[in-house]
Structure 1
Amino acid sequence: MILAKDITKDGNPVLRRKSHPIKFPLNQQQQKLAHDLMQYLVIGQDPVQAKKYNIMGGVGIAAPQVGLNEMMVAVLVPDKMHPQATKPALKAVMVNPVITSRSKQDCALITGEGCLSVDRDIPGLVHRSKKVTINYQDVHGKHHLLHLVGYPAIVCQHEIDHLHGHLFYDHINQADRYAEIPHEMVLDFAKNTDKEFGSKDHDASTDSYRAVRIRSYIKNEAKTKQNVLKDNH
């Protein structure tokens, strides 16, 4: 079982190394890793269990975050569009995941991103592709192709970054943490009305999440530090 003490922290060289592809069949250690990564997410998203084991909840975790440079990640993404949903939007252990295509349009979470391996708060928009296609193998070696949009796409990009030695804050514009990118969409799960935004800008055919163009108010929003929806990966 993975505990808080087992999480590799920013500054450890393992987080900046490229991970090695995994060969099949998985050995016993790799099978245990797959189980433990998903178990950590399941327990972390259960308030009672998370408190019992004193672990921080997350929606994704990668092998380098437990000190192993192997190409394996686990994701357990809640259905943000339907908070009462009993099933997650995405649950998978991905072995050797590869992003095979990306949309030209970017997106970002208005609250920024967090990371199990980064203890400090680093504000700013983390620019990611709005849509991605991912090819990966499950624990049995079977290939899968995923087409993701919005929040699940963001989570998977965050985790796959770990396999290539990248951290979320690498994508923040250090000169202007809230700099606008043309046509970028900002996902905001906290707002239930449109009055805060200049106009509605929904893409219901491909993305059910609330999506709006970056507005100048983002800087003021971020300063409030009301980042209750910032998830750790």
Structure 2
Amino acid sequence: MSKYNQSYVITMQDIVREGDDILREKMPELSLPPTEEDKQELLCMLQYLKNSQDPSLAKKYKLRPGVGISANQIGLNKRMFAAFIKGENGNNFEHMLINPKIISHSASMIYLPDSEGCLSIDRPVIGYVPRFKRITVKAYDINGKEVKIKLKDYEAIIFQHEIDHLNGILFPDHINSTNPFQLPDMDINPL
């Protein structure tokens, strides 16, 4: 039985760091419908993100803020992730997805001018990470129901970052190694 359930609080001690083999493995798809254990793990991951964005809880538990977390980042060999952005008026961006896959994307690309960050990477990483501006993702929700989600801009970047994790890819892999601020020769703009 997994330790990750609704009463467990994920802290930075649970986060797998760069150099650990599981971060470079392609995560296997989950059998559907998801088990109760899968659901509890996803809810626990989502709660980490909520806690990490709450200043008092982040301070209490010494959490780095995050907007996305994949199962392999807490040592689980499962193809699932959670994403959360606190919105205005309680209009939050919140997803817990199983077996996500990008089924279409725009030709145009974007990047974050300050680079990306990652709970699993403790060192500073500079450089542009090119991402698709718009994507459509097919996945299954926490109840095993198929969903298609259209995303753009920051939300699209989060999903691409987390799906990369599930494929054993870390965001520095996308940065040009000889010139970190060189962008691909295509339609690409800062977010």
- TM-score of the pair, normalised by structure 1: 0.75
Q: Secondary structure at the match of 2:101?
A: strand
* Counterpart position of 1:31: 39
Q: Secondary structure at the match of 2:90?
A: coil
Residue 158 (1) aligns with residue 161 (2): yes
Extract unaligned runs of 5+ from structure 2.
Answer: 1-8
Offset at 1:86? 3.4
Residue 172 (1) aligns with residue 180 (2): no
Residue 48 (1) aligns with residue 48 (2): no
**Structure 1 residues 180 and 25, CA, compared in 2 at 3 Å: closer, same or farther?**
closer
Residue 126 (1) aligns with residue 129 (2): yes
Cα separation, 2, equivalents of 1:166 and 1:69: 15
Percent identity, please: 38
Q: Secondary structure at the match of 1:165?
A: coil
Offset at 1:78? 4.1
- TM-score of the pair, normalised by structure 2: 0.91
* Candidates 58, 63, 71, aligned match of 2:79: 71
User: Residue type matched to 1:38 in 2?
Assistant: L
Cα separation, 2, equivalents of 1:94 and 1:118: 23
Cα separation, 2, equivalents of 1:32 and 1:2: 12
| Larger helix share, 1 or 2 | 2
Which string of whole-angstrom CA distances, capped at 9 and with x for unpartnered residues, describes residues 6-58 of structure 1? 00000000000010111123223212211110010011110001111111110
CA-based RMSD:
1.2
* Candidates 90, 97, 119, aligned match of 1:86: 90
Q: Secondary structure at the match of 1:139?
A: coil
Please, which moves more after superposition, 23-32 or 105-114?
Answer: 23-32
Structural mapping, 1:97-108, within 5 Å: 97-108=100-111
Extract unaligned runs of 5+ from structure 1.
Answer: 188-233
Larger radius of gyration: 1
Decide whether the 8 Å contact of 2:107 with 2:187 is kept in 1: no
- Consecutive aligned runs of 4 or more in structure 1 exceeding 3 Å deviation: none
